[in-house]
Structure formats: C-alpha cells, structure tokens
Amino acid sequence: MKKTFILLLIFFSSYGLYAYAQPLQVEVFDVKQSEVIKQIPLEENIRKEAFSLVKSADSLFPKLNPTPISGFMVKVPFEPEEEIETKVLHQKVNQVIFIFPEAEKPYMLIFNEKKQPMFYYFSEDHLSFLKHIKMEL
C-alpha cells in the first residue's frame, strides 16, 4: 500500500516536467485500475470550481494512510499558482489532487512549500466540480 502511494505521488508530481510543452490538463486517476482514465483540458470553469474547493479547506485529514482502496483522484494544475488562505492552509498552490474514495468523505492533497504532502478535508460541495469534469461518485 505504501509503495502504491509513493508511485502515485511520483506520477502526480511529474506535472512540472512537461507543463510548458502542452496545454494544462486535468487528469483523472482510477485507484483500482492504477491508471489515468481521463484527461481533459483545464477550462476556466473547472479551474474556478477547483479553486473554490481548495479555498474551503477546513481541517486536516486525520488518517495515517491517505491512499484509498477504491474511487478516483483528480489532479488539477494552477498556472499561475494561486495564493490560498484558510483557517488551516496559507500558502501558494500550483497543483491539487482531489481524492474521491468510494463511500467516504472526499479530501485533497496539496504539497506544502517544503514539497511535503498535506491532506485536507474541504467543506464546499463538490458535485458541481464533478459535473464539469463529467465524473460521478
């Protein structure tokens, strides 16, 4: 399980290596299949919805193992990076990974300034975001 999580982190953090060669993409990763199942261009409406979710960060994710057994993850790049200030988060964000496990509350992964992964719950309703990327729980 730990190996899978590390591989996911490496995969999702590889964004910076090719970001300037192509338009920004939203990527949907299926946890059970262990692969990207969808890539869509980052449109402004998707960016706004994602930013709204990030701004609603309200508490840290308390579990020791943040890797879900099933569900999907959605990587959204922010270029240029966005300054976020909430009661639990105050930093610039250049990428977020939303994690939607089956039958559990969704949460998100953001790397802090020291490139350490930090997991947060968000309070904003995520259904509109999922509708924009054409995904369902």
Catalogue all structural domains in the chain, each as residue range(s) with its CATH number.
2-132 (3.30.1490)
| Cβ(135)–Cβ(128) below 8 Å | no
Residue 12: the pLDDT is 52
40-50 pLDDT tens trace: 999 999 999 99
56-110 pLDDT tens trace: 999 999 998 898 999 999 999 988 888 999 989 999 999 999 999 998 999 999 9
Q: How far apart are CA 104 and CA 20, in angstroms?
A: 35
**Per-residue three-class SS string for the chain:** CHHHHHHHHHHHHCHHHHCCCCCCEEEEEECCCCEEEEEEECCHHHHHHHHHHHHCEEEECCCCCCCCCCEEEEEEEEEEEEEEECCCCEEEEEEEEEEEECCCCCEEEEECCCCCEEEEEECCCCHHHHHHCCCCC
- Would you place residue 5 in the very low, low, confident or very high pLDDT band (cuts 50, 70, 90)? low
> By C-alpha distance, which of 72, 118, 110, 114 is closest to 94?
110
Residue 1: the pLDDT is 52
b/e map 36-63, b = 16+ CB within 10 Å: beeeeebeeebbebbbebbbbbeeeeee
- pLDDT at residue 123 tops 70: yes
What distances in angstroms separate CA 44 from CA 10, 27, 62, 76, 104, one per listed residue? Answer: 26, 15, 32, 12, 28
Residue 7: the pLDDT is 44
